């Protein structure tokens, strides 16, 4: 297996996630795209752990997984609150804080 | 090694299709189910990379908890199950351009840096003991801080989502 196989897969997932974050209007779908980005990073970390023969990459990947779980919890709570107040989670309608 | 390369190719193709469907499908539920495919594929890649503990954690935390949270979030915000046409912005072409530029740049840099460097053949999977020794010695302080982050996120999510 080549190092680049995994890194290119990670790069593809990352770009797909960025596309989703930029294009999606639904807040839940944007959070899903963020998960794609975090997974791309994790694949890179684990691939580099094998390449360098250490275990640090795997430890970092575990930390990223834990932070991602916390992020989704708070993110969905925010989405729920926005829905309760506005009856909509379309992100381009949230322009109250625009100057 | 050939078997591993074939396995990588098949799983990577499935993940790529799944990822593209997550960001293009017109149904929030389908997006969550495609996301399961991508996350399970990532777990399979971790096994190929000899990181079994990370793979199991990925299944437990992502497929077991995060996707369920997503499904609950979708249901509580009452996204129409039959499919919505307005899930994506009208300016999707700019997003596509950005993503393509980003992917091209990343691919160019990666190929220019690593060429055809091979990964070492893993001698069996990494023992979980080694991973946990590292977490509970070298990375003990980050681990504690992470526990506090999780606690704060838990309390924050409850405070935000409760009605009163």
pLDDT tens for residues A27-57?
999 999 999 999 999 999 999 999 998 899 9
Say whether pLDDT at B79 is over 60.
no
Q: What is the pLDDT of residue B84?
A: 57
Query: Cα–Cα distance between A53 and A39 in angstroms, integer?
Result: 21
Interface contact B54-A42, CB threshold 8 A: yes
How high is the mean pLDDT of chain A?
92
Q: Which of residues 44-73 of A touch B (CB under 8 A)?
A: 46-47, 49-51, 53, 55-56, 58-59, 61-63, 65-73
How high is the mean pLDDT of chain B?
91
Q: Which of residues 18-77 of B touch A (CB under 8 A)?
A: 19-20, 22-23, 28, 31-32, 35, 38-39, 42, 45-46, 48-51, 53-54, 57-58, 61-62, 65-66, 69-70, 72-74, 76-77
User: Residue B159's Cα: distance from chain center in Å?
Assistant: 27
Query: SS3 of A26, please?
Result: strand
Q: What is the pLDDT of residue B86?
A: 75
Please give the average per-residue pLDDT across B110-121, as a whole number.
90
Query: SS3 of B121, please?
Result: coil
Six-digit token string for A94: 């949230």
What percentage of chain A has pLDDT greater than the value 90? 73
pTM of structure:
0.92
CA angle B120, B48, A16 (to 5 degrees): 105
Query: How does DSSP classify residue A55?
Result: S
Q: What is the pLDDT of residue B85?
A: 57
CA distance B82 to chain A (A): 15
CA distance B121 to chain A (A): 8
Q: What is the pLDDT of residue A90?
A: 83
Q: Is the Cβ of A30 closer than 8 Å to some Cβ of chain B?
A: no
Q: Is the Cβ of A41 closer than 8 Å to some Cβ of chain B?
A: no
Closest partner residue to B119 among A1, A23, A76, by Cβ?
A: A1
Q: What's the number of CA atoms in the CB half-sphere (13 Å) around residue B46?
A: 29
Which single residue is written with the structure tokens 């593209």? Answer: B20
Six-digit token string for B43: 């777990």
Q: What is the pLDDT of residue A1?
A: 83
Q: Is the Cβ of B162 closer than 8 Å to some Cβ of chain A?
A: no
Q: What is the pLDDT of residues B4-56, one digit of tens each?
A: 999 999 999 999 999 999 999 988 899 999 999 999 999 999 999 999 999 99
How high is the ipTM of this complex? 0.93
On whether the CB atoms of residues A30 and A21 are closer than 8 A, the answer is yes
Helices B2-24 and B28-48 pack at an angle, to 10 degrees, of 160
Find all residues with CB under 8 Å of B161, minimum gap 6, and list them. A77, A80, A81
CA distance A34 to chain B (A): 11
On whether the CB atoms of residues B41 and A42 are closer than 8 A, the answer is no
- Name the H helices within chain B: 2-24, 28-48, 52-58, 67-76, 92-114, 128-136, 140-161
Interface contact A50-B50, CB threshold 8 A: yes
Within a 10 A sphere around the Cβ of B127, how many other Cβ atoms?
12
Q: Is the Cβ of B128 closer than 8 Å to some Cβ of chain A?
A: no
Query: Cα–Cα distance between A17 and B62 in angstroms, integer?
Result: 16
Which single residue is written with the structure tokens 């322009």? Answer: A95
Q: How far apart are the first and last CA of chain A?
A: 52
Six-digit token string for B115: 């060429």
Q: Is the Cβ of B10 closer than 8 Å to some Cβ of chain A?
A: no
């Amino acid at each position: 297996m080549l190092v680049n196989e995994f890194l290119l897969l990670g790069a593809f997932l990352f770009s797909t996630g960025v596309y989703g974050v930029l294009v999606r209007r639904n807040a839940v779908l944007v959070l899903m795209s963020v998960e794609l980005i975090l997974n791309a990073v994790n694949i890179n970390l684990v691939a580099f752990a094998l390449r360098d023969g250490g275990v640090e990459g795997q430890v970092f990947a575990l930390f990223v997984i834990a932070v991602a779980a916390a992020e989704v919890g708070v993110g969905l709570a925010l989405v729920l609150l926005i829905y309760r107040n506005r009856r909509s989670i379309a992100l381009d309608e949230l322009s109250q804080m625009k100057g | 090694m050939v078997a591993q390369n074939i396995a990588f190719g098949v799983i990577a193709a499935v993940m790529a299709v799944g990822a593209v469907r997550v960001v293009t499908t017109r149904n929030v539920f389908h997006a969550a189910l495609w996301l399961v495919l991508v996350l399970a594929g990532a777990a399979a890649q971790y096994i190929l990379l000899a990181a079994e503990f990370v793979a199991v954690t990925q299944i437990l935390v992502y497929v077991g908890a995060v996707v369920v949270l997503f499904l609950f979030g979708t249901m509580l915000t009452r996204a129409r199950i039959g499919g919505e046409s307005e899930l994506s912005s009208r300016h999707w072409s700019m997003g596509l351009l950005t993503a393509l530029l980003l992917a091209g740049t990343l691919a160019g840099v990666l190929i220019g840096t690593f060429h055809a460097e091979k990964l070492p053949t893993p001698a069996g999977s990494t023992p979980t003991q080694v991973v946990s020794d590292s977490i509970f010695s070298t990375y003990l302080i980050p681990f504690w801080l992470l526990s506090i982050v999780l606690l704060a996120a838990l309390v924050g999510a409850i405070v935000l989502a409760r009605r009163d």
